[in-house]
Amino acid sequence: MSSGELLEIDPLELQFPFELKKQISCSLQLANKSDDYVAFKVKTTSPKKYCVRPNAGVVLPRSTCVVIVTMQAQREAPPDMQCKDKFLVQSVIVDQGATTKDITTEMFSKESGNVVDEVKLRVAYVSPPQPPSPVPEGSEEGSSPRPSVSDNGNANASELLAATRAYAEDIQQEKTSENLALISRLTEEKNVALQQNSKLRQELELVRREVSKQQGGFSFMFVVIIALLGIFLGYLLKK
């Protein structure tokens, strides 16, 4: 951290976890510990390589401003991972109520007699963070034991048994429904047969009475008709 006359800057070295063909960003914090409005401007020796947002602004009294510096994706790694790029943070006191729109290039010109505070920043490349190594089973204290193969086998067997029972219940329900439908159909057919039997008996009784009136007794033909009707009724009942 730099305790300049106007702004405290942290860090003084911009560290980028270098990776090829990947944009990398780091942050820069500017703190205004005074009661004045302070304008700042960030410059670099490699403006095409870095993107600074915001590269200029006004830090209000007793407040801070965060600047994001983004390094563009690099196709080649520098020799020995050394970087010679530099940054310069310029700051100057401005009128109260000033905003970023009020900032001009002349404000940071010492030739114009302005009191300009300057802080130089270095750039360093560091190794990217390594992914955490896997923790061996049972090495972490308080960790719950992983299920063994036998536990998995028991769980699979229980699931299979439950699925088999559910399948058997479904089949039983289907068979029950089919049996109920068959019983209902047979009952309906039986009722129809009984109705037909009753109708035939009534017709037979009418024929018998008619023949009795005409001949005063039973003829051979009437006996034959009675026998045939009896055979037919017996067939219907057996069906």
Per-domain residue ranges of the chain: 7-126, 162-238
Residue-level pLDDT at 9: 96
Question: Of 128, 53, 119, which Cα lies nearest the Cα of 89?
Answer: 119
Topology annotation, domain 7-126: Immunoglobulin-like (2.60.40)
Q: Which residues pair with 123 in a beta bridge?
A: 14
Question: β-strands 13-17, 117-126: how paired?
Answer: parallel
Mean pLDDT by 10 residues, the chain (239 residues): 80 94 95 96 96 97 97 90 94 95 93 91 88 63 52 59 71 71 80 79 80 62 75 70
Residue-level pLDDT at 180: 77
Phi-psi category of 108—alpha, beta or left, where left has phi over 0 and alpha has psi -120 to 50? alpha
Q: Are 89 and 40 in contact (CB under 8 A)?
A: yes
d(CA 98, CA 89): 19
Residue-level pLDDT at 118: 95
Classify each residue of 195-231 as buried b or exposed e, where b means 16 or more C-beta atoms within 10 Å of its C-beta: eeeeeeeeeeeeeeeebeeeeeeeeeebeeeeeeeee
Residue-level pLDDT at 33: 92
CB count in 10 Å sphere of residue 189: 11
Residue-level pLDDT at 78: 85
Q: Are 104 and 67 in contact (CB under 8 A)?
A: no
Residue-level pLDDT at 149: 46
Position of tokens 């401005």?
94
